[in-house]
Structure 1
Amino acid sequence: MTMLLPEPGAPLAHYVSDKPFDPMSIEAMTQKQSDIYEASQLRLMWWKFKKHRIALASLFFLAVAYAMIAVVEFLAPYNLQTRNVENIYAPPQAVHLFHEGSLVGPFVYGRTMTLDMATLRRVYTEDRNRIEPLRFFCRGDSYRFWGLFEADRHLVCPAEGGTFFLFGTDRLGRDVLSRMFYGARISLTIGLLGVTMAFVLGIVIGGLAGYHGGLFDLIVQRVIEVLQSIPSIPLWMALAAIMPVTWSPIVIYLGITCILGLLDWTGLARAVRSKLLALREEDYVLAAQLMGAKPARIIGRHLVPGFLSHLIASATMSIPAMILGETALSFLGLGLRPPITSWGILLTEARSVSVIAFYPWLLIPTIPVVLVILAFNFLGDGLRDAADPYK
């Protein structure tokens, strides 16, 4: 029974009703309020996430990047191992649309190469009289699509007898842009596989330690402290160095993934443990225990969803950390090895200061690394805010 404030002099009984008044009843809601009231948790998170413009743009960028790795053979102008010995350390070629005021379409100018006898460097000069139009959806270098079947279709190809090196070439005359496309497949997927392993270990070990406590919790905490006290890069180097050189590239790829996953679970496990220590004393946990729920169900269905926002943020932060870890190991020569190509392996071409000074385009593979890591950080901020019920 609810009571409304009476007007002066009016009988009190006129303002007393036996029917409770619910100001948020469905009938009293606007259409927008009704949609919010009936929306699921995932839809509410999506509505909040859409307001984070930078995170939304980062999600679109990452979606495009991961979609591209499925068709890198088609997107790359050249095959991974295609060498052009006449264009070793060739600088990037600019794409033009107009020639002497006339619309020609996408094309590049031809180049001539001379050898500087003083420095023994190749000098490339643009020839404005040679117009080499670009071809699209064309036949070019043959490749095995995902190693399954032979194909030779490319999104863009150079003119017959011409060249198209948008990001230049390396010391063997291989196209840097094409190798960046192939390297994206390894660098982007190694983070997903590694973070999956780290999440499984972190949630399981940290969840059991926080829920049960006792001796198991004590042992887990000591192991985490020992692992976190070891410098990361020397530990990575030591674990990567013990892998035999006779292993196949795929086995080395899986080995690097396991190393990154096994070393990244400690931070998540400690965070999960601290959250579960606080949440396991809640009444709904006691009710689930009295109803006979097993610890695995209580942890997975009742406790872990309580700090989902923290897990989402941790995942989006762990993926770029693993990408950087693989890049650092490969750059030091202790990670992936040819013929596998990753962004870290591409950067090994620029380990010398003299090479960077003479051929700065070899540092271009750092650009996708920076963009992907920034995108994951912005995406993590947006997902964390969207999953946080207090925002």
Structure 2
Amino acid sequence: MRTIPVFKRQKAMVTKPAIDKDVQYSSQWRLMYLRFKKHKLARISLIVLGILYAAAIFAQFLAPYGLQSYDSKYVNAPPMTLRFVDADGKFHIRPFVYELKSTRDPETMRKIFEPNTEKRYSLQLFAKGESYKFLGIIPTTTHLFGVEQPGRIFLLGTDGLGRDLFSRILLGSQISLSIPLVGVGISFILGLIIGGISGYFGGWPDSVIQRIIEIIRSFPTLPLWMALSAAIPPRIPVVTMYLYIVIIFAFIEWTGLARVVRGKFISLKNEDYVVAAKIAGVSDGKIILKHLIPGFISYLVVATTLAIPGMILGETAMSFLGLGIRSPATSWGVLLQEAQQIENVALYPWKLIPLGVVIITVLTFNFLGDGLRDAADPYKK
């Protein structure tokens, strides 16, 4: 029987597994980043959200038409198809669309649109259109694309007033994507401050704050939204309505984060490093900002990310019910109002496209939140 020399056995016993130095000497944020990179679905979601928010920022440039643009000849027109090959089989380098001609169904008298192959309009980049202010500052009439005059292009069809649905989805994203961010930002600050006071100082401030939170959370969410929205005066400016909607969401959503912050403060305020800071004469404000909050900042990032989808759905629901943003302004909830009627959905299914955009946005935020939640525990295998 073959034997292994003693020095080889001892060498094998003392061999240690290799440790990745990039992980061994990394900070907490670096470890979170390294783990987040391994979550493919979260990375894809981050890219999708980046595209959505970039489209919202440059919506007026990307949209071929404005909010006030409509054409009564194209009421409930179906989506147009960009073509490279015409009806005669000839290939064209520049994509084009056919003009839509309308006819009446002899039985139902419903307007039916069909492509008119005799009139072709080529796609134009950086086309001239309605005037607007680029990024709200620079007056211009240039849009990313359009078609030759007097042609019209409706990539996602039109609504019941002949307005381009693609343009309205882009312009509506400015409200539907910004309200949740602003609302979550305000509720984050409120929850952090109020929850921190409750958990750090305790006593009667803690009792009063917790009773207030319990009262707010005892109301059903949707009826509370409706009650607060009903208090908003009708026919107010769009900017004022936007501000009111943000305040409503912030007023409701801060309670959950405040309770989490309170629990974290209670568990951390008796740790040795916090007690040492108190003995050294460090002020309460510095202890909270430099010692307590950094101890669970990763959790706050995750909680904030996961709270945004709820606010997106909330704004959509309020606008859908006519309690939020109202015409002439638009949001994804406003666009879905026409989908309340089953007849509209059955005859004009493209009016449900805004619902698909809402679903994609909510899912990407949830996937991103899942990735951040996993990354917040970088030592988890």
Alignment partner of 1:167 out of 134, 153, 156: 156
Partner of 1:242: 231
Cα drift, residue 146 of structure 1: 4.4
Whether the 8 Å contact between 2:35 and 2:378 is mirrored in structure 1 is no
Residue 134 of structure 1: SS of its match in structure 2?
Answer: strand
Whether the 8 Å contact between 1:309 and 1:385 is mirrored in structure 2 is no
Alignment partner of 1:363 out of 333, 352, 360: 352
Q: Counterparts of 1:233 and 1:152 in 2: how far apart (Å)?
A: 41
Name the aligned partner's letter for residue 271 of structure 2: E
Whether the 8 Å contact between 2:99 and 2:121 is mirrored in structure 1 is yes
Deviations 1:131-161 (A, max 9, x none): 3221111112222334444311111102222
Name the aligned partner's letter for residue 41 of structure 1: Q
Alignment partner of 1:287 out of 276, 279, 285: 276
Q: Counterparts of 2:164 and 2:291 in 1: how far apart (Å)?
A: 52
Distance 1:120 1:356, change over 3 A: same
Name the aligned partner's letter for residue 216 of structure 1: P
Whether the 8 Å contact between 1:195 and 1:315 is mirrored in structure 2 is yes
Higher mean displacement: 101-110 or 377-386: 101-110
Q: Counterparts of 2:30 and 2:85 in 1: how far apart (Å)?
A: 48
Residue 127 of structure 1 pairs with residue 120 of structure 2: no
Question: C-alpha root-mean-square deviation of aligned residues, in Å?
Answer: 2.1
Partner of 1:72: 59
Higher mean displacement: 356-365 or 188-197: 356-365
Residue 91 of structure 2: SS of its match in structure 1?
Answer: strand
Alignment partner of 1:156 out of 141, 145, 148: 145
Partner of 1:19: none
Q: Counterparts of 1:246 and 1:139 in 2: how far apart (Å)?
A: 33
Higher mean displacement: 284-293 or 193-202: 284-293
Q: Counterparts of 1:90 and 1:384 in 2: how far apart (Å)?
A: 44
Q: Counterparts of 1:40 and 1:390 in 2: how far apart (Å)?
A: 12
Alignment partner of 1:316 out of 285, 290, 305: 305
Higher mean displacement: 141-150 or 177-186: 141-150
Higher mean displacement: 296-305 or 153-162: 296-305
Cα drift, residue 389 of structure 1: 4.0
Higher mean displacement: 331-340 or 37-46: 37-46
Partner of 2:263: 274
Question: Sequence identity, in percent?
Answer: 46
Partner of 2:11: none
Higher mean displacement: 92-101 or 269-278: 92-101
Whether the 8 Å contact between 2:32 and 2:378 is mirrored in structure 1 is no
Whether the 8 Å contact between 1:308 and 1:387 is mirrored in structure 2 is no
Distance 1:208 1:227, change over 3 A: same
Q: Counterparts of 2:89 and 2:38 in 1: how far apart (Å)?
A: 44
Partner of 2:132: 143
Q: Counterparts of 1:42 and 1:63 in 2: how far apart (Å)?
A: 21
- In structure 1, the gaps of 5 or more residues are 1-6, 9-22
Name the aligned partner's letter for residue 97 of structure 1: F
Cα drift, residue 41 of structure 1: 3.0
Partner of 1:96: 83
Cα drift, residue 118 of structure 1: 4.2
Name the aligned partner's letter for residue 96 of structure 1: R
Partner of 1:181: 170
Residue 157 of structure 2: SS of its match in structure 1?
Answer: coil
TM-score normalised by L of structure 1: 0.88
Name the aligned partner's letter for residue 62 of structure 1: L
Whether the 8 Å contact between 2:98 and 2:121 is mirrored in structure 1 is yes
Alignment partner of 1:350 out of 303, 318, 339: 339
Distance 1:357 1:209, change over 3 A: same
Residue 262 of structure 2: SS of its match in structure 1?
Answer: helix
Higher mean displacement: 377-386 or 40-49: 40-49
Residue 202 of structure 1 pairs with residue 186 of structure 2: no
Name the aligned partner's letter for residue 26 of structure 2: A
Cα drift, residue 239 of structure 1: 0.5
Residue 361 of structure 2: SS of its match in structure 1?
Answer: helix
- In structure 2, the gaps of 5 or more residues are 1-5, 8-14
For these two proteins, the number of residue pairs brought into alignment is: 366
Residue 20 of structure 2: SS of its match in structure 1?
Answer: helix
Cα drift, residue 264 of structure 1: 0.1
Deviations 1:198-235 (A, max 9, x none): 10111111111111211111122211111111110110
Residue 232 of structure 1 pairs with residue 221 of structure 2: yes
Q: Counterparts of 1:143 and 1:98 in 2: how far apart (Å)?
A: 34
Alignment partner of 1:328 out of 309, 312, 317: 317
Q: Counterparts of 2:57 and 2:344 in 1: how far apart (Å)?
A: 32
Distance 1:101 1:191, change over 3 A: same
Q: Counterparts of 2:83 and 2:235 in 1: how far apart (Å)?
A: 47
Partner of 1:48: 35
Residue 58 of structure 2: SS of its match in structure 1?
Answer: helix
Q: Counterparts of 1:335 and 1:120 in 2: how far apart (Å)?
A: 35
Q: Counterparts of 1:307 and 1:385 in 2: how far apart (Å)?
A: 14
Deviations 1:134-189 (A, max 9, x none): 11111122223344443111111022221211111111110000011100111111
Q: Counterparts of 1:120 and 1:279 in 2: how far apart (Å)?
A: 71
Cα drift, residue 390 of structure 1: 3.6
TM-score normalised by L of structure 2: 0.90
Residue 306 of structure 1 pairs with residue 292 of structure 2: no
Structure number with the bigger relative contact order (C-alpha 8 A, sep ≥ 6) is 2
Deviations 1:353-382 (A, max 9, x none): 222222111111111111111111111111
